[in-house]
Amino acid sequence: MKAMRWMIGLVVVALVMGCTSDDRDEQEELVEDHGSPAGSWSIMNAVPDARTEVSVTTDGDRVFMIGGFLPPEDEDSDERAPAAVDMYAWSPVSGEWENLGPIPGRTHHAGFVHLDGKLYVVGGYYDNTFDPHGQVWIYDIDADEWSEGSDMSTPRGALAYTVLNGRIHAIGGTVADAGEHDHEAHTTDAPDDSVGTHEVYDPASDEWERLAPMPTARNHHVAKAVDGKIVVTAGRAGNNFTMTETEIYDPASDSWSRGADLPTGRSGVAAERLGEWVYVFGGETFDRGAARTFDSAERYHIGLDRWEVLPSMPTARHGLGAAVVDDSICVISGGPEPGFSFGTDNECFIPVD
């Protein structure tokens, strides 16, 4: 197994770590309905800065992390949490985190992908506000240089993003004023400024194109490309923080269809694709009387239209990122409590089918 080359001296953790009796009861019910494939979690090298609402990607060798919030210098003041500026790279082989210096602008809840030796930062919110922007910044890994791409047509934060056929899809999120956007083009029927806007960026032409909007407007959701299509799930809109809708985009017909619901509704999750599965980790809810973070780990197979429940994460958290490392998935950073809490956790899951 390739992953074993960097798993020296790691601690494999108990799957029930930190679970309450209610959590265990809920997990047992989900396992009964969806099954529980084998797998194990390992605790990896902690993130240098405690953050939340980060963006994470990988070039296959290193894992990159940008953005998010840092703890305020004075935790007792009314000061807003500052947005992080430094980009970090983690080597699973050496176990070391390297500070690569500042990104061009402070941002959080941004899209972040790797494509052909470059990293793309797409949209998000300005600094420590929740004002969405559409800026695109491009980092050439070999040259260690930043450049600017064409702005996203519809500025958004807390959007979902993925790469399919060499293009970057930006789906959903929140806009400054949903009422100013055409409903048919953006799906503006959410009770807040969430939209279903779907736009795609072509790095070769540096141009954006609008595609069929996602049927369910939402934010704090995830998107991953698998089997030539895009799977979108989880998220929030208005007072619904535990969305379960799974929607699938087919580029051949520029159309959406409905998939099986996510077993555990939540928002502020992380996702990755490994093999034929889309994996979803963590999350939070602010539902009245039930505010919490989640240690849930679940995966979806588009061909079978089936979700499976996985062993729970060692640390419940939201606002985290995920990246594939060899044949495992590492979930990085995120807040252990709903809202503005901050963490340095780096935990990797190795599925065993």
- Count CA atoms closer than 13 A to 99's CA, side-chain side: 7
pLDDT score for 266: 98
> What is the C-alpha to C-alpha distance for residues 341 and 275, in angstroms, rounded to an integer?
32
3-class SS at 293? strand
Rounded distance between C-alpha atoms, residue 322 and residue 331, angstroms? 4
Taking residues 153-170, report their average pLDDT. Answer: 98
Give the C-alpha separation, 270 to 63, whole Å.
Answer: 14
Query: Is the pLDDT reported for residue 347 higher than 70?
Result: yes
pLDDT bin (cut points 50, 70, 90) of residue 299 is very high
Q: Are 34 and 263 in contact (CB under 8 A)?
A: yes
Whether the CB-CB separation of 243 and 265 falls below 8 Å is answered with: yes
Domain that holds residue 199: 2-352
pLDDT, average across residues 179-197: 97
Burial label for 14, CB within 10 Å (0-12, 13-18, 19+), is: exposed
> Which CATH number does the domain housing residue 51 bear?
2.120.10.80
Span 4-17, mean pLDDT?
Answer: 39
Report whether 196 contacts 173 (CB < 8 A). no
Average pLDDT, the chain: 91
**In this model, does residue 270 exceed pLDDT 50?**
yes
- E strands, 255-345, where? 255-259, 270-274, 277-281, 284-285, 292-293, 297-301, 306-309, 321-325, 328-332
| Angle (nearest 5°) at CA 346 between 342 and 348 | 145
Over residues 255-276, mean pLDDT: 98
**Residue where the block lists tokens 């894992």:** 63
Q: How far apart are CA 172 and CA 194, in angstroms?
A: 7
pTM of this prediction? 0.91
pLDDT single digits (tens) 84-131: 999 999 999 999 999 999 999 899 999 999 999 999 999 999 999 999
Domains of the chain: total = 1
Please give the pLDDT value at position 6. 46
